[in-house]
Amino acid sequence: MTEAVDVDRALKSKHRVMWGLGNYPAVATEVIPELGPVVAAAGGVRAGDRVLDIAAGSGNVAIPAAALGAQVVATDLTPELFDAGRKMAADADVELEWREADAEDLPFEDGEFDVVLSCVGVMFAPHHQRAADELVRVCKEGGRIAVLSWTPTGFIGEMFKAMKPYAPAPPPGSQPPPLWGEESHVRELFGDRVRDLTARREVLQVSRFRDPEDFRDFFKENYGPTIAVYRNIAGDDAKVEALDRDLVDLARKYSAGGDSSAGGDSPGMDWEYLLVTGVRSTS
């Protein structure tokens, strides 16, 4: 048992470091800012609700939820992201609580929250059932749940597939994050503890990048998982060049407008996600 606990602590420590690499708040604010309000709306957040945002990062969902008048607690395994979140909350003239917390072992009582949310966050907890169990546990009976995750067949899911050959082998028992983007997987995780479950695939149109190379360079500099993979192959020029090509090829495949470096509008990319909503069942 002690060995298993030590392994889990080491894994969580690695995850914390990974998400602290680069500048995830830049990804949240420059690339996917629209997703936070989508999740808050899907969760039916209302003034006075007690809301938990799991794996909140810098508050992409938590801040819009607080702006609706909710009492929000934003949690994340990587508290280094909170400084940027506090600044953005102050700029938005909202207040919320920031708590360091492991999505698989939340420091809250059963049924403590009216609404539990996560936006491309809880999906990265390595043990999906543990994370789902905690998410459901802290939601009160009749409370609302909304979780947004990248799909395996969408752009981000394909990006993780492209990076996999260059990444270290995942620890035993950990599961691929984009599985949270499969409806059947989420239904199995929640079981009969969540009723009125709906799942719909939607697309985020991303136009932040000038061209595929700009996407690659931005993610190499700012996105923790991509930075970690490049660090894993640092010193192997052939692998670095190959991954550079693979990411550019993937971005080009998903770009609607081609290379716009000569001017004009940025090429758009469609990034697919799964939005799951439901209600915590009564006993």
Q: Which one-letter amino acid corresponds to residue 221? A: E
Question: What count of other Cβ atoms lies within 10 Å of the Cβ of residue 6?
Answer: 10
Give the pLDDT mean for 120-135: 98
**pLDDT above 80 for 6:** no
Number of CB atoms found within 10 A of residue 29's CB: 16
- Top pLDDT among 283 and 98 is at 98
Q: Residue 133 — pLDDT band, cuts 50, 70, 90?
A: very high
Are the beta carbons of 215 and 253 closer than 8 angstroms?
A: no
pLDDT number for residue 259: 41
**By percentage, how much of the chain surpasses pLDDT 70?**
94
Q: Would the pLDDT of 15 be above 60?
A: yes
Tell me the per-residue pLDDT of 215-273, one tens digit each, with 9 for 90 and over: 999 999 999 999 999 999 999 999 999 999 999 999 999 986 444 343 334 568 999 99
- The pLDDT of 184-207, averaged and rounded, is 98
**So where are the chain's domains?**
2-280
CA distances from 54 to 101, 123, 188, 205, 254 (A): 8, 10, 20, 24, 29
Tokens in use for 87? 């600044």
Residue 157 φ then ψ, to 5°: -60, -40
Please check the confidence at residue 3 and state whether its pLDDT lies above 70.
Answer: no
**pLDDT grade for 2, boundaries at 50, 70 and 90:** low
| pLDDT reported for residue 264 | 38
User: Residue 122: which of 141, 97, 142, 139 has the closest Cα?
Assistant: 139
pLDDT at 100 over 90: yes
pLDDT tens-digit readout, 67-84: 999 999 999 999 999 999
pLDDT at res. 281: 97
Residue 168 has pLDDT above 80, yes or no: yes
At residue 9 the predicted structure's pLDDT band, cuts being 50, 70 and 90, is: confident
The fold adopted by the segment(s) 2-280 is Rossmann fold (3.40.50)
The pLDDT > 90 percentage for the chain reads 89
